[in-house]
Amino acid sequence: MSTTSKPRVLIVGGGLGGLMLGGLLERSGVPYAIFERVAKAKPVGAGMLIGPGILPTFQQLGIYDDFLAIGKKIYCTQNYKESLEKYRPTDTKPIEDFTGYLHYVVARSALYDLLLKLVPADKIHFGKRVLNITEKDDIVSVLTSDNGVYEGEIVVGADGAYSAVRQRLYEKLKSEGALPSEDNEELPFSCTCLVGQTRPLDPKEFPIVDVPDSQFFTVYGHNKPFTASKEAAQQRFRNNENSSWGDIPGPSMRDETRDFVLELNDGKKRTMGDLYDLTPKENTSKVMFEEKVFKTWYHRRFVLIGDACHKLHPSGGQAMHDAMALSNLIYAMPTRTSQDITRIFEEYKSERYPAAIACYKSSKMLGKIIDSGFAGAFSLFLMTKMPQWMWRLVLANTVKFRPQIGFLERVAIKGTVKPVPSPSENKARAVFKNQQQRAHQITVAV
């Protein structure tokens, strides 16, 4: 086998992380294919917060302006008591000074469509459920539900919290007695969340949809069942469904929460039921939120990204950051031998694991704020009464991770808070510069 060409990468899962990885490999010239079990993506999922950690890469990819067209700027979150008395808003304006970028709220489905444009149609295979993955010598083979067999040198599990790739990988490690005990435990249940998107609303009836900036309101209820019943906690997705964003309608949860008060800043008394009545059932999903950062992210020619290795509450693109680091390292590989593949996987986890842990801890802190006990009340008090100088320090700490793609032209770093170095970006950047210099020398010689 040639050791100078790039490995063929088989990506299992065509969600945001899988699409981002595919789009980056497309730009780097690395051969790949994406396998997505659903025949067509549905417009489910809540809005996503995207900001300085991802936007420089969108500029590098040439999709920044397209993203601005589908996102809405967000400067603060307005918090309310159940009586609709206001808490002090959570101000995020300083982030623009820190980074030169704002935060934007974007519909998950709109972001999905944008990333899908980065991948040629012939390289993403919809309706291809992965049944089995085998490895022999230097080749991994993926068997799909239509009896298709696809071969490559690397398999990436980008298939969600109940990843089929992780399941196959862990089964193998467990049989060898090499799987850490904590990785053999079930995902710890956190809460149940109902997410969805209304049909397009009439601005005359809902003036809020015509406001140029995103209006993000949070109402903290008093002794309200923010999670559904115990039955909901037991209604887990099965491993073979490969997805945390399921098509479970959750009518009982809608019934339980119809009377929850809602603030749309138009002076009208509204409840969540008003929005439920405007939301098609197929645009609604009940999501089980479990949180865990797995210890094992790779083995031999298998590697995991996104929810497959760190299941976190949606938090602004952790899976896309994984894809960025992994694509940088695959690009910089000197050979496609097993030794080099293992080495880049080690470097990938070394860079991304601390960031996943930091995100996990941050999510736990947020969980305390919405808790109904004393801890929740105390955490909410701190958040709404924190001195501004302290709040600025907290915000500055959240924007330290702003990596870029080393094999694309670099975007100028802006803002007063400098990003922490990205080892994968620096490694790819060195290879990229070397190739540019060699190309220039050849041109001059000719």
In a domain, 199, yes or no: no
In a domain, 301, yes or no: yes
Provide the pLDDT for residue 353.
94
Q: Which DSSP string do the residues of 122-182 spell out, in sequence order?
A: GGEEET--EEEEEEETTEEEEEETTS-EEEESEEEE-S-TT-HHHHHHHHHHHHTT-S-GG
CB 401 within 8 A of CB 419: yes
Neighbouring C-beta atoms of residue 389, cutoff 10 Å? 7
CB 163 within 8 A of CB 19: no
Provide the pLDDT for residue 228.
39
Q: Please name every residue paired with 6 in a beta bridge, in sequence order, or none if there are none.
A: none
* Count of domains forming the chain: 1
The encoded tokens of residue 262 equal 């809602």
Provide the pLDDT for residue 410.
95
Provide the pLDDT for residue 380.
67
CB 159 within 8 A of CB 167: no
In a domain, 405, yes or no: yes
H or E element at residue 81: strand 76-81
- Per the structure, the complete domain to which residue 171 belongs is given by 9-72+96-189+291-438
Q: What is the CATH number of the domain that holds 346?
A: 3.50.50.60
Question: CA 215, CA 75: separation in Å to the nearest integer?
Answer: 9
In a domain, 323, yes or no: yes
Closest to 89 measured CA to CA, from 99, 100, 75: 75
The encoded tokens of residue 160 equal 């969600």
Question: CA 302, CA 294: separation in Å to the nearest integer?
Answer: 15
Question: CA 110, CA 15: separation in Å to the nearest integer?
Answer: 12
In a domain, 33, yes or no: yes
Q: Which amino acid is at 318?
A: Q
CB 305 within 8 A of CB 158: yes
Rounded to 5 degrees, φ, ψ at 87 are -85, 170
The encoded tokens of residue 242 equal 């490969």
Question: CA 327, CA 406: separation in Å to the nearest integer?
Answer: 9
Handedness of CA 182, 184, 190, 194 (dihedral sign): positive
In a domain, 84, yes or no: no
H or E element at residue 198: none
Residues of the chain predicted below pLDDT 50: 1-4, 226-249
In a domain, 261, yes or no: no
Stated length of the chain: 446
In a domain, 85, yes or no: no
